[in-house]
Amino acid sequence: KAGVTQTPRYLIKTRGQQVTLSCSPISGHRSVSWYQQTPGQGLQFLFEYFSETQRNKGNFPGRFSGRQFSNSRSEMNVSTLELGDSALYLCASSLGGSGGRSSEQFFGPGTRLTVL
Amino acid sequence: AQSVSQHNHHVILSEAASLELGCNYSYGGTVNLFWYVQYPGQHLQLLLKYFSGDPLVKGIKGFEAEFIKSKFSFNLRKPSVQWSDTAEYFCAVNPSLGGTASKLTFGTGTRLQVTL
């Protein structure tokens, strides 16, 4: 079974621009979660999409948004980029149930975003 | 809100030494517990998980962890580390029940360096 894939793997943008990251979950997984990883803040939850609806949200500003398509693929968008948005953005997929194995998350390789 | 503490930020061990990494969590309800590993240049991989049942769980590559409910702890152990275990280790929790099960809360990570 193919793992979680993320595109692109690397991005360089300048302040003020916007960026869209893509994530394809494991086949059969209906939940996609996004995380930001930085040396200073560690791994922080951004949001989760399940059946095309945002089900959970972390403490990030509205510049960070996402969506999920009917095939469970998800995109994350960051508008008006700031230097502090430089990070590794990780996508994780799961079956999406509320307990046990259905909540187990499998991570993709991440997209390394650099904001200049 | 749930939180996870990893007390060891950087651990240096010689090959064949025993390893124990501490993890404590704060949450008022029942949780699922995970240890993830991130090898240099690679994506997060699941080492082991605890959902319920036997509090001593075994994972891949000879790792094990023990859930002690009274101490809110889920420490990771390995009897004899290898140079290839050099990586960053993350403890994570999510609620067992309810719609927030996909919201993983991570500890700050422990960087393990194994010397020859």
Note the helical H segments in chain B: none
Q: According to the model, what pLDDT value does residue A37 have?
A: 95
Q: According to the model, what pLDDT value does residue A102 have?
A: 79
Chains A & B: contacts with CB separation below 8 Å: 72
Q: How far apart are CA B107 and CA B75, in angstroms?
A: 12
What pLDDT, in 10s, does the model give residues A33-86?
A: 999 999 989 999 999 999 999 998 999 999 999 999 999 999 999 999 999 999
Q: Would an 8 Å CB–CB cutoff place A108 in contact with chain B?
A: yes
Enter the tokens of residue B78.
């390995």
Beta strands in B22-72 (DSSP E): 24-26, 31-38, 45-50, 56-58, 64-68
Residue stretches of chain B with pLDDT short of 70: 97-101
Q: According to the model, what pLDDT value does residue B41 have?
A: 86
Quick check: B45 and A104 CB within 8 A? no
Cα–Cα distances in angstroms (integers) from residue B70 to residues A2, B48, B58, B66, B101, in the given order: 39, 20, 20, 12, 22
- A-proximal residues of B, 72-101, CB under 8 Å: 90, 92, 94, 96-101
User: Which chain A positions have a beta carbon within 8 Å of B43's beta carbon?
Assistant: 90, 107-110
Q: Would an 8 Å CB–CB cutoff place B9 in contact with chain A?
A: no
Q: According to the model, what pLDDT value does residue B49 have?
A: 93
Q: Which is it for the CA torsion A29, A90, B100, A68, positive or negative? A: negative
Please state, for a pLDDT cut of 70, what percent of chain A lies above it: 97
Q: According to the model, what pLDDT value does residue B102 have?
A: 73
Q: According to the model, what pLDDT value does residue B103 have?
A: 84
Enter the tokens of residue B16.
């064949």
